[in-house]
Structure formats: C-alpha cells, structure tokens
Structure 1
Amino acid sequence: MTRENDKTDNDKTRSGVSRQDRLKSALRENLKRRKAQARQRAGAAGPSREDEPTPDKGIGGKAGG
C-alpha cells in the first residue's frame, strides 16, 4: 500500500511544480502585455504636460527670454 501512496504523492508533486511553472509563465506574459498596453496608451495620449510651456519658460523651453 505504501507504494500506491508514494505514487500518488509523487504525481501530485510533479503536477504541482508544472502548475506553478504554468502560473509563473502566465503571470509573466500578462505583466508584459499590461506594460505594453500602458506604454501604448501613454504614447497615444499625446504630448505630456512636461511638453507644455510654463510661465517661467518660453515656448522654446529656455528660461529667461
């Protein structure tokens, strides 16, 4: 009977490791996809507020006149 239990435990361990590997891989791919989407959205939003002239900077972005 112990051999049957060992087999079952060993199968669970193997499937657990492969499941963890699948989950790691899926999470990594999901993160890459989300980062790419965020970059795309940021690029599509147009110029950032940093590009806008401020009262102390002229249109050319230089301080003073």
Structure 2
Amino acid sequence: MTTEDQTKTSAAVPPKKDNKKDRLAARLRENLRKRKEQARGREKDGQPG
C-alpha cells in the first residue's frame, strides 16, 4: 500500500464516524420528541408527568 492509498483510506474513515454521530443525534432527537409528546398526553389525561 502506498502513502497515497493510506491517505485515501484514512480520509474515508472519519466521514463514516460522522455519519454514525449524525444518525445517533437524529435518533436521540426523535426519541426526545416522542417522550415529550407522551408527557403532554399524560398531562392532558390528568396523570402526573
């Protein structure tokens, strides 16, 4: 493997990690949104939050 090949390979790895972080962040936001929605529903029903 040449230095150029190693550079290309190394450069390809960080975006994969970024994609993983982006997916995780999106899932966390979605989870938070759902939990807030559930909490609002419980408040309407008169159940403590």
Range into which the TM-score falls when normalised by the shorter chain: 0.7 to 0.9
**Gap runs ≥5 in structure 2:** none
Higher helix share: 2
* Counterpart residue type for residue 11 of structure 1: A
SS at match of 1:38: helix
Identity of aligned residues (%): 36
RMSD, matched Cα: 1.7
CA distance in 1, matches of 2:38, 2:8: 45
* Counterpart residue type for residue 34 of structure 2: R
> Is 1:40 matched up with 2:34?
no
Runs of 4+ off more than 2 Å = none
| Number of residue equivalences | 47
Q: Which residue of 2 aligns with 1:57?
A: none
Aligned residue runs from structure 1 range 2-21, under 5 A? 2-21=3-22
**Gap runs ≥5 in structure 1:** 49-65
Displacement after TM superposition at 1:10 (Å): 1.1
Larger Rg: 1
* Counterpart residue type for residue 19 of structure 1: K
